[in-house]
Amino acid sequence: MTTHRERIQACLNGEAPDRTPIALWRHFPVDDQNPESLAASTLHFQATYDFDIVKVTPASSFAVKDWGVDDQWTGDAEGSRRYTKRVIHKPEDWEKLALLEPTSPHLAGQLDCLRLLKKNLPAETPIIQTIFNPLSQAKNLAGNETLLAHLRQNPEAVMKGLDVIAKTTIKFIEAAREIGIDGIFYAIQHAQVEVMDLDEYKTFALPYDQQVLETTQDFWCNMLHLHGKNVFFSLLRMFNFQIVNWHDRETYPSLAEAQTLFKGTVCGGLRQDTLVLESQAKVREEAEDAIRQTKGRHFILGTGCVVPITAAHGNYLTALESVRGTGRGNSR
């Protein structure tokens, strides 16, 4: 039997795996508030569906709670929590951010979760940890409107804060490496036309992205997530990722177009809403179309972002069924 690791590695190498790989992930609200229950929910999810990559999905606040923010579960369909307390209000607050160690309570808790997953998952199942880029973490500290106002009016102060966030993130990644993760899922939320222009992104975000990503070069299974619509796909030329994930069913580029722009592996093909609202026939249709677009090479079936927590069990099973019979010696 081909292992998950072997299947993903064949895919990343541009070979035809035994079947098309598949990776779906979701939030676990309430359970994501302590490491043991998040690990238990992640393990149960993987035991149920046996995906080719385990993408660990804590609440976004795990990275910033040790700076003093707070958040609340209010029933969001994607499983995200709502921020109820910010710690950045004035430009000078950015300069007060202290460097956090991985031993800080919430960062340490997420590392405990990774240890539990590493202990209880088969060794050949790739594990990737969600990492929010420094600008996304800054948004969670201040709120997006405050962040953008400060960036444009007091950029020097914000950039001092971003440097502290980047250094804290690097320390966390280094600690996660020691546990034995296979890569990171690097979430970028501001690289889209509706939020800022490309030159702004290159000025205020790219240097800190590159600083953080320097420490991930020895991982073999890194995935970039470009969140939103009208994303700056050209940024891929400035990064070194094995896999890219974005809302391919809702925005440029399509999977086929992306493969003319990016030599690595693309992950997507399924709309989030399809797994929640549509029939199993529609799930199968999107999956088969995605496999045709990519010819089954350098492709992992997934969604453009997290699967909403209301997705139907039968649609998960259909997504799994849709990749059976693909790969070496098969055609669609």
Which tens digits make up the pLDDT trace of 233-265? Answer: 999 999 999 999 999 999 999 999 999 999 999
Give pLDDT, residue 1.
Answer: 81
User: Rounded CA gap, 317 and 49, in Å?
Assistant: 8
Average pLDDT, the chain: 97
- Which tokens is 274 given? 């399809």
Tell me the three state secondary structure of residue 269.
strand
User: Rounded CA gap, 44 and 125, in Å?
Assistant: 14
For strands 82-85 and 70-72, give the pairing.
antiparallel
DSSP for 207-256 reads HHHHHHHGGGTT-S--EEEE-SSSB-GGGGGGS--SEEEE-TTTSSPPHH
Q: Is the CATH number of domain 4-323 3.40.50.2000?
A: no
- Which tokens is 259 given? 């493969």
Which tens digits make up the pLDDT trace of 212-240? Answer: 999 999 999 999 999 999 999 999 999 99
What kind and span of H or E run contains 190?
Answer: none
- Which tokens is 272 given? 């989030």
Query: What's the one-letter identity of residue 146?
Result: T
User: Rounded CA gap, 247 and 277, in Å?
Assistant: 17
The dihedral over CA atoms of 137, 138, 142, 144, expressed in degrees to the nearest 10, equals -90
- Which tokens is 89 given? 């209000």
| pLDDT confidence tier of residue 326, bands split at 50, 70 and 90 | confident
Backbone region of residue 75 per phi and psi (left: phi > 0; alpha: psi in -120 to 50; beta: other values) = left
Would the pLDDT of 331 be above 90? no
User: Rounded CA gap, 72 and 133, in Å?
Assistant: 22
User: Rounded CA gap, 143 and 61, in Å?
Assistant: 12
Which tens digits make up the pLDDT trace of 144-181? Answer: 999 999 999 999 999 999 999 999 999 999 999 999 99
Give pLDDT, residue 214.
Answer: 98
Query: What's the one-letter identity of residue 192?
Result: Q
* CB-based contact 205:146 (threshold 8 Å): no
Give pLDDT, residue 328.
Answer: 63
